[in-house]
């Protein structure tokens, strides 16, 4: 069957063998009327011999050093209404062009492309390693792919940079080709479509001509790149810490309403007043566009970098040319700021010209051509501490609801993207949406390739554990092991399952066998900071209270709370001390976190924690935390804390007034609290509260209330007693 003739523009690229494979796979797929132009960059003279004698194509020499100019030269030298832009290290499959041209048979479609192994964007397809090992294996895989995906087309917002067919007139109206192609302007003219029945394989090595050019030698060594919104409470600390490591800081603001931009400027950062489009990857790329350094430090406002800055800069300055990234350890502080959820190795230093951010949420740094996530060796002696998932920060930033919404949008963006489904499940779990997490994971396991199953099983197991569905969690752990997931991650999850099931010896055996350097499937260390909770709960369940208490003491000395405060109180009491011991063990820098954690526990226990901390530290922040207990405290404890608050200038936060104003408290307690505030502290604000509370006292309690007042507030008792007698 005849089809539209096309003009194919190929940029000579890749190794000699890569380019040979491209030409050999291209020729059999051409129609009689198709034309081919091969643009040969001046620095790729090594590929010229492969073009000699090939009368079926025209060679254009190019010395511009610019991919935009190469595409433009090829388009200008051709004539057909459809132009195909093709990188020269792509292996094509039989009939790959037919589904692409079928899509362009609709006049509303202005550009279409095949699925492509190692390509950034919606065209991306993952070809199994064994099927990408050689050309025959790939072509066999592509044949089956074509049969399974025949007739499938998807509208997208953009296509990739490796292989795409575009209407010539639409490309001209868009201003001509660009290095990453003008998809925004093309989309204004019509539809962009993926033809799923077509599959090509991009080799994507360092010799790929689409890779960006080198950065000038006189560029700064390191730029910090961050996006922010309403970060005034954490930004200053982050900026102060990073200046030793970088030469410039670019802060891209997405719409702050607090002092964030002012703080950034006060700390010497370049502030870009930008916008937010519900897409973290896009926002980070807009920030990245303003950076000038050879290397980028990707960092957030709620992260603080630590370590040997001079050594880190030396590593970056002397890194070999093909080194694109270094990973560093990121410690995420969770709970109330005292728990550490492992240490994740994350690519945070990377070459500016070798990266783009990809993903609406949980964005990754990837190669701008192949879409491969950047990897590299660990940069020694450098760490980042991340506080974004503490309870306080998550609540203030409303991260749970936000992440679910963005993850749902990402699933809609990436109709065939398994990672978008994984991120949705993780976001639902973070937001406490257990049933939704289970449903998402189950559907994901049914509809996505096996290589993604281990990433979906992790949130599924955690959701089962969170809802007490032990049998289903056990089955999912077995599936995780079969799916080839991290043994340490499976051991960690199974140990938590054992705790729920009362198998404390089994839990202890599992966690103590995990290697100290083990990583899970998300490159997060399954280390002491993560397993201490299981070990303590297991030891406690086995009634080995002294060992459990000693593990608690080890963690608290490091500023971490390994288990909930009520459980620590139970274990320490069983060992002969009590929760009061925390005050002598906890470093002062961790004081705020313990105070926040105590705010969620029963009142009497929180009061004991605050009291012992006050006796040890006498820090005003302890008074602020105790003040929040005001309406829940016994009257006499409210009186003691009120006296301390007034002594240190915090009368506005009087615990007696809070109690007196609380409709949840008995009228008798409210009367006593208000009366004591007037009697001891001449607190005028207590008088209307006292009158209101007296009116609410039942007649049967008038006598006992008056007796209490005679003892605790005799002046008030004398003032009201005549009226009472009368």
Task: Walk me through the domains of the chain, giving residue ranges and CATH numbers.
Answer: 6-202 (3.90.550.10), 222-390 (3.90.550.10), 543-614 (no CATH), 629-725 (no CATH)
- Give CA torsion, residues 118, 123, 124, 130, to 10 deg: -70
Three-state DSSP state, 350: strand
Report which of 222, 214, 351, 227 is spatially closest to residue 279, judged by C-alpha positions: 227
Q: What is the pLDDT of residues 170-207, one digit of tens each?
A: 999 999 999 889 999 999 999 999 999 999 999 988 88
In angstroms, the CA 604 to CA 556 distance is 21
At residue 279's C-alpha, the angle toward residues 277 and 280, to 5°, is 125
pLDDT at residue 334 greater than cutoff 50 = yes
Q: Tell me how far apart the alpha carbons of residues 612 and 652 are, in angstroms, rounded to a whole number.
A: 23
725 vs 554, more confident:
554
DSSP letter at 281 equals H
pLDDT in tens, 496-534: 999 999 999 999 999 999 887 777 777 677 777 788 999
What average pLDDT does range 276-286 have in this prediction? 95
**Is pLDDT at 584 greater than 90 in this prediction?**
no
CA quadruple 433, 438, 440, 444: dihedral positive or negative?
A: positive
Residue partners of 663: CB distance under 8 A and separation at least 6: none
Strands 295-298 and 222-228, bridge-based pairing: parallel
Position 214 confidence tier, pLDDT thresholds 50, 70, 90: confident
512 vs 531: CA distance, rounded Å: 9
What is the Cα–Cα distance from 611 to 607, expressed in whole angstroms?
A: 6
Q: What is the pLDDT of residue 598?
A: 84
Tell me the C-alpha to C-alpha distance, in Å, between residue 378 and each of 295, 303, 349, 525, 712: 15, 18, 10, 14, 66
Which residues make beta-bridge pairs with 344?
Answer: 330, 524
Cβ neighbours for 695, distance < 8 A, ≥ 6 positions apart: none
Given a contact cutoff of 8 angstroms between Cβ atoms, the answer to whether 171 and 75 are in contact is: yes
Q: What is the pLDDT of residues 678-707, one digit of tens each?
A: 999 999 999 999 999 999 999 999 999 999
Paired tokens of 278: 């519900």
Residue 357 has pLDDT above 90, yes or no: yes
- Kindly tell me the burial class for residue 516, based on how many C-beta atoms sit within 10 Å of its own C-beta (0-12, 13-18, 19 or more): exposed
pLDDT at residue 675 is higher than 70:
yes
Residues written for the chain: 726
Each residue's pLDDT tens digit, 68-120: 999 999 999 999 999 999 999 999 999 999 999 999 999 999 999 999 999 98
pLDDT band at 448 (very low <50, low <70, confident <90, very high): confident
Average pLDDT over residues 10-31: 95
How high is the pLDDT of residue 437?
96
Q: How confident is the model at residue 34 (pLDDT cuts 50, 70, 90)?
A: very high
For residue 484, the model assigns a pLDDT of: 85
> What value does the mean pLDDT of the chain take?
91
pLDDT digit string (tens) for 157-168?
A: 899 989 999 999
- pLDDT value at 339 more than 80: no
Worst-scoring range by mean pLDDT, 96-100, 298-302, 392-396, 540-544? 392-396
pLDDT at 398: 63
pLDDT number for residue 342: 62
Q: Which tens digit of pLDDT belongs to each residue from 392-421?
A: 444 545 677 888 999 999 888 765 578 889
On the question of pLDDT at 336 being above 50, the answer is: no
C-alpha distances (whole Å) from 490 to each of 186, 266, 362, 477, 501 are: 47, 47, 23, 6, 16
Indicate whether 723 pLDDT > 60: no
pLDDT at position 387: 76
Mean pLDDT to the nearest integer, 42-58: 93
Q: 646 pLDDT exceeds 60?
A: yes
For 558-572, write each residue's pLDDT tens digit: 888 888 899 999 999
């Amino acid at each position: 069957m005849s089809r539209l003739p096309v003009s194919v523009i190929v940029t000579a690229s890749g190794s000699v063998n890569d380019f040979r494979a491209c030409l050999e796979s291209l020729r059999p797929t051409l129609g009689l009327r198709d034309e081919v132009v091969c643009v040969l960059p001046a620095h790729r003279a090594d590929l010229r011999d492969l073009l000699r004698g090939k009368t079926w194509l025209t060679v254009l020499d190019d010395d511009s050093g610019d991919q935009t100019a190469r595409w433009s030269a090829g388009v200008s030298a051709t004539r057909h209404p459809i132009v195909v832009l093709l990188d020269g290290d792509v292996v094509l499959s039989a009939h790959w062009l037919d589904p692409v041209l079928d899509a362009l048979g609709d006049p509303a479609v202005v550009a279409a492309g095949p699925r492509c192994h190692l390509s950034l964007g919606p065209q991306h397809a993952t070809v199994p390693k064994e099927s990408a090992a050689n050309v025959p294996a790939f072509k066999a895989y592509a044949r089956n792919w074509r049969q399974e995906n025949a007739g499938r087309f998807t509208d997208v917002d953009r296509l990739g940079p490796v292989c795409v067919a575009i209407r010539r007139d639409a490309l001209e109206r868009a201003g001509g080709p660009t290095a990453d192609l003008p998809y925004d302007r093309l989309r204004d003219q019509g539809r962009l479509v993926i033809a799923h029945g077509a599959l090509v394989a991009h080799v994507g090595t360092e010799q790929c001509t689409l890779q960006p050019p080198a950065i000038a030698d006189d560029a700064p060594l390191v730029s910090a790149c961050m996006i922010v919104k309403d970060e005034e409470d954490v930004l200053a600390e982050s900026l102060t810490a990073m200046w030793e490591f970088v030469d410039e800081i670019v802060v891209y603001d997405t719409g702050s309403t607090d002092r964030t931009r002012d703080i950034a400027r006060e700390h010497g950062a370049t502030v870009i007043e930008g916008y937010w489009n519900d897409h973290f990857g896009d926002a980070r790329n807009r920030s990245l566009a303003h950076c000038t350094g050879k290397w980028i430090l990707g960092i957030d406002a709620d992260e603080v970098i630590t370590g040997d800055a001079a050594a880190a800069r030396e590593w970056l300055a002397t890194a070999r040319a093909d080194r694109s990234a270094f990973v560093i350890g990121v410690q995420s502080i969770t709970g109330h700021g005292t728990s550490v959820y492992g240490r994740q190795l994350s690519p945070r230093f990377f070459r500016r010209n070798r990266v783009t951010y990809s993903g609406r949420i949980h964005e990754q740094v990837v190669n701008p051509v192949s879409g491969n996530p950047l990897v590299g060796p660990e940069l020694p002696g450098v760490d980042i501490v991340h506080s974004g998932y503490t309870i306080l920060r998550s609540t203030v930033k409303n991260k749970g609801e936000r992440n679910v919404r963005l993850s749902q949008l990402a699933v809609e963006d990436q109709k065939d993207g398994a990672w978008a489904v994984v991120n949705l499940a993780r976001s639902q779990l973070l937001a406490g949406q257990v049933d939704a997490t289970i449903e998402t994971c189950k559907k994901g396991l049914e509809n996505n390739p096996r290589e993604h199953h281990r990433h979906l099983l992790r949130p599924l197991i955690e959701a089962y554990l969170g809802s007490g569905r032990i049998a289903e969690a056990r089955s999912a752990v077995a599936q995780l092991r079969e799916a080839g997931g991290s043994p340490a991650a499976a051991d960690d999850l199974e140990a938590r399952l054992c705790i729920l099931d009362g198998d404390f010896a089994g839990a202890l055996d599992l966690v103590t066998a995990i290697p100290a350097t083990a990583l899970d499937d998300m490159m997060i260390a399954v280390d002491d900071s993560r397993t201490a909770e299981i070990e303590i709960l297991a030891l406690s369940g086995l009634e080995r209270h002294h060992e459990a208490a000693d593990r608690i003491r080890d963690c608290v000395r490091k500023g971490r709370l390994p288990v909930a405060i009520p459980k620590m109180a139970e274990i320490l009491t069983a060992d002969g001390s009590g929760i009061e011991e925390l005050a002598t063990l906890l470093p002062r820098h961790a004081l705020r976190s313990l105070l926040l954690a105590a705010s969620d526990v029963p009142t009497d226990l929180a009061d004991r924690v605050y009291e012992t901390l006050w006796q040890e530290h006498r820090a005003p922040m302890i008074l602020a935390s105790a003040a929040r207990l005001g309406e829940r405290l016994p009257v006499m404890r409210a009186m003691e804390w009120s006296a301390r608050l007034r002594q240190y200038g915090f009368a506005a936060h009087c615990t007696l007034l809070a109690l007196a104003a609380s409709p949840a408290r008995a009228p008798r307690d409210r009367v006593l609290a208000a009366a004591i505030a007037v009697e001891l502290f001449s607190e005028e604000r207590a008088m209307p509260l006292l009158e209101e509370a007296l009116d609410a006292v039942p007649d049967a309690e008038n006598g006992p209330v008056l007796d209490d007042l005679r003892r605790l507030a005799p002046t008030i008792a004398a003032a009201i007693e005549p009226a009472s007698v009368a």
